[in-house]
A = this chain, B = another copy of it.
Amino acid sequence: MDTPDPQASRLTAQFAFLTEADRLKSVLRASPLADASRRENSAEHSWHLALYAMALADQAGPEVDINRVLRMLILHDLVEIDVGDVPLHSQDGQAHGSAEIQEAEAKAAARIFGLLPPDIGAPFLALWQEFEAAETPDAVFAKSLDRTQPVLQNLASGGGSWTEYGVTLPQIETRVGVKIARGAPAIWTHLHARLRQVFARG
């Protein structure tokens, strides 16, 4: 093609973003697969969370728009392509949510969503920022699911990142339970009962 074609260069940008996003499949998380065969990556984790939103939609308050939650969860970890995953329970746990990490993630979001035509990239960036701020009902529910899924992975695999980092029940209550309960109180009640049984046996 000899003349620039706006449609073609738009698709070129969209495909460049989608190919860059592929790198999320190589970012490993602390939590394992349910069968404990390996650690999960952030791309398959994001798919799993989207499925959580669909299967647990009845746990969302009436003000929550599940379609927006789905989109948030699909986008929420893309910044890890540049920044990596900061495990909640690691010795670096302090780093989780630190100003330094937040700044690096904001820079990553600008770069990655900036690969897209602005009319697509700008709403994606806004949705990611809303998730990070965790203030709107949609973001609060999305965050609850993001904290619920690793608990289920650890329960299914027989310990997972709790065993690796020597995590106690009170630590789970503080670091995880509070955030699950904020957006999905019945889920936390249910998980808490299971956790008390497991840690009592431990």
Which A residues have a C-beta under 8 Å from some C-beta of B?
Answer: 1, 7-8, 11-12, 14-15, 17-19, 21-26, 33-35, 37, 40-41, 43-44, 46-48, 50-52, 54-58, 67, 70-71, 74-75, 116, 120, 124, 149, 152-153, 156, 186-187, 190, 193
Say yes or no: A33-B44 contact (C-beta < 8 A), given A54-B124, A187-B11.
Answer: no
Distance in Å from the Cβ of A164 to the closest Cβ of chain B?
A: 18
Give CA–CA (A8, B1) in the complex, Å.
Answer: 61
Q: In the assembled complex, how far is the CB of residue A57 from the closest CB belonging to chain B, in whole angstroms? A: 8
Q: List 5 A-B contacts (CB under 8 A).
A: A18-B48, A18-B149, A21-B51, A23-B34, A50-B70
Check A186–B50 contact: CB distance below 8 A.
no
Copies of this polypeptide in the complex: 2
Which one, B8, B41, B58, contacts A44 given CB within 8 A?
B41
Complex CA–CA separation, A57 to B117 (angstroms): 12
List the B side residues contacting A57 at CB < 8 Å.
Answer: 120
Knowing A8-B190, A25-B44, A44-B43, the reply to whether A55 touches B18 (Cβ < 8 A) is: yes
Collect the chain B residues with CB atoms within 8 Å of residue A149's CB: 18
Contact across chains for B22 and A34 when beta carbons are under 8 A apart: yes
With a CB–CB cut-off of 8 A, which chain B residues contact A21?
48, 51
Partner of A71, one of B14, B37, B54, B58: B54
Distance (whole angstroms) from the CB of A160 to the closest CB of chain B: 12
Knowing A50-B47, A50-B50, A152-B15 are in contact, say whether A186-B40 is a contact too (CB < 8 A). Answer: no
